[in-house]
Amino acid sequence: MHNAIYYEGTYYLLPKEFDNYEMFIQNLQDKALPAQYCMIELREDHKARNFSVIKGRSMAPYFLSGYHDNPVVVTIENCENVYPVHVEVMDQVEYNAQLREVINRVCPGCLRFKPLSNRVQSLNGHFEEMTLDGVCVFRQESKPAPRSFHNHLFSFGGFFVRFDYASINAQEMSNNIKQWFYVRYANALLEEIDGHKVLTLHCKQNELLAPILAKAISQYIEKISAGTYHIRLAADYICTENILTELLMDQNSETFRKDCKKYGVSLAVLEYDDHASDKVRHSLKELVDHFWLFPLLQTNGKDYYLVADTAYVLKELRYRSPLLQAHHANVSIFDQYKNSHYQISFDMKQTLL
């Protein structure tokens, strides 16, 4: 076990001259900022490959030695963005041996599991999904495999940029949205306003997620079309806490879960210390920018997100757990299976709400 820090999205081993985090932070506070230190950067992916064998990849807080072990100069500009963490560092041989033991102990029961033996040695696919403490957010115990809205989004984006979308009429575009995302809208109107294509969608009655999905699709389309194509709803839709709470009410829960399963989405509620809003949101900016998370409603200490891929997002939240733990964050994920609560920590236990 080694003392380390998490700073601006990266893990670093403490410099050798400091025995613990307290000594390091005291030294940092005594210095004029920005301050520089020589530290070893800890990477989850060293991008090392050996033909069909994936090497140099691990999952925090377990890291590999033997790849990038030379200290780098790290400039720290803000003490408040430095978070303590304990990590384990080992060579590839030891990591593989421990991972193999964990797989054989934890993975049976998962539909994606293939027993390892002396004849089946490959650990590929597990390095980026299974931690040495036995946490796997990608576990699948029921068929079919859950859909991912994120995958649909990027598949639709490939279609969108390959074809002449400027010539596609409103009904064709509405049909394409239905084909790719399984969302049906009552009708659609395509207009040209100030040189921009504007597709207006009318939601069907009693459709719980259609307005939220329309906004998510719109954000993506505006990005890949450089703002020349817009999707909007015929009636103004403001996502309030009452609307989100209504989605989860007992009388709507069965329909909501079916919709989640059909569309490949989840609803996440992230709660944390109310003074940490800027830090927590900044830490999730990459997930928002790459369309893994769509902010629905943000208040002090409590944010709601549409989740485009639950397993991947939980993996990324785990990576950010030093910051999230420091601000007492927890996330509740509501999806097609059951309402689950994940404590953002290195054991990430799952319990029923």
Structure confidence at residue 250 (pLDDT): 84
Would 45 be classed as within a structural domain? yes
Render pLDDT for 267-277 as a digit per residue (tens, 0 to 9).
Answer: 999 999 999 99
Percent of the chain with pLDDT over 70: 94
Structure confidence at residue 118 (pLDDT): 54
Q: Are residues 216 and 270 in the same domain?
A: no
Q: Which helix (H) or strand (E) holds 191?
A: strand 185-193
Say if residues 40 and 7 touch (Cβ distance below 8 Å). Answer: no
Amino acid in position 217:
I
Q: Are residues 96 and 177 in the same domain?
A: no
Mean pLDDT of 302-310: 94
Q: How far is CA 187 from the centre of its chain?
A: 33
Instruction: Give the end of a domain, one of 209, 233, 257.
Output: 233
State how far the Cα of 309 lies from the Cα of 233, in Å rounded to an integer.
24
Least confident of 27-36, 74-83, 148-157, 160-169: 160-169
Q: Are residues 258 and 228 in the same domain?
A: no
Would 244 be classed as within a structural domain? no
Q: Are residues 225 and 292 in the same domain?
A: no
CATH number for 193: 3.30.300
Check pLDDT > 90 for residue 282. yes
Would 130 be classed as within a structural domain? no
State how far the Cα of 117 lies from the Cα of 127, in Å rounded to an integer.
17
292: exposed, middle or buried (C-beta count within 10 Å: 0-12, 13-18, 19+)? buried
**What is the pLDDT confidence band of residue 352, given thresholds at 50, 70 and 90?**
very low
CATH number for 333: 3.30.70
Structure confidence at residue 135 (pLDDT): 86
Q: Are residues 93 and 9 in the same domain?
A: yes
**What is the pLDDT confidence band of residue 304, given thresholds at 50, 70 and 90?**
very high
Helix (H, G, I), strand (E, B) or coil at 180: helix
Does the pTM of the predicted model rise above 0.95?
no
Would 310 be classed as within a structural domain? yes
Structure confidence at residue 116 (pLDDT): 66
Render pLDDT for 55-73 as a digit per residue (tens, 0 to 9).
Answer: 889 999 999 999 999 999 9
Percent of the chain with pLDDT over 90: 46
Check pLDDT > 70 for residue 256. yes
State how far the Cα of 158 lies from the Cα of 153, in Å rounded to an integer.
9
Say if residues 230 and 289 touch (Cβ distance below 8 Å). Answer: no
Check pLDDT > 50 for residue 232. yes
Helix (H, G, I), strand (E, B) or coil at 78: coil
Give the domain range for residue 41. Answer: 2-106
Instruction: Give the end of a domain, one of 201, 233, 265.
Output: 233
Mean per-residue pLDDT over the chain, rounded: 87
What is the strand order of the sheet 229-233 is part of?
185-193, 196-203, 229-233
Instruction: Give the end of a domain, one of 198, 233, 268.
Output: 233
State how far the Cα of 211 lies from the Cα of 297, in Å rounded to an integer.
14
Number of domains in the chain: 3
Structure confidence at residue 207 (pLDDT): 78
Would 312 be classed as within a structural domain? yes
Q: Are residues 215 and 273 in the same domain?
A: no
Please indicate whether residue 213 or residue 164 has the higher confidence score (pLDDT). 213
**What is the pLDDT confidence band of residue 238, given thresholds at 50, 70 and 90?**
confident
Indicate the length of the chain as a whole number.
Answer: 353
**What is the pLDDT confidence band of residue 166, given thresholds at 50, 70 and 90?**
low
Q: Are residues 264 and 189 in the same domain?
A: no
Check pLDDT > 60 for residue 176. yes
Check pLDDT > 80 for residue 265. yes
Structure confidence at residue 326 (pLDDT): 93
Q: Are residues 194 and 274 in the same domain?
A: no
Would 196 be classed as within a structural domain? yes
Structure confidence at residue 49 (pLDDT): 76
Structure confidence at residue 347 (pLDDT): 67
Render pLDDT for 129-148 as a digit per residue (tens, 0 to 9).
Answer: 889 988 888 888 877 778 89
Q: Are residues 208 and 276 in the same domain?
A: no
Q: Are residues 15 and 77 in the same domain?
A: yes
Q: Are residues 293 and 342 in the same domain?
A: yes
Would 303 be classed as within a structural domain? yes
Structure confidence at residue 268 (pLDDT): 92
**What is the pLDDT confidence band of residue 353, given thresholds at 50, 70 and 90?**
very low
State how far the Cα of 44 lies from the Cα of 57, in Å rounded to an integer.
5
Q: Are residues 229 and 262 in the same domain?
A: no
Would 55 be classed as within a structural domain? yes
Least confident of 22-36, 110-124, 228-242: 110-124
Render pLDDT for 103-132 as a digit per residue (tens, 0 to 9).
Answer: 888 888 888 887 666 555 578 888 888 899
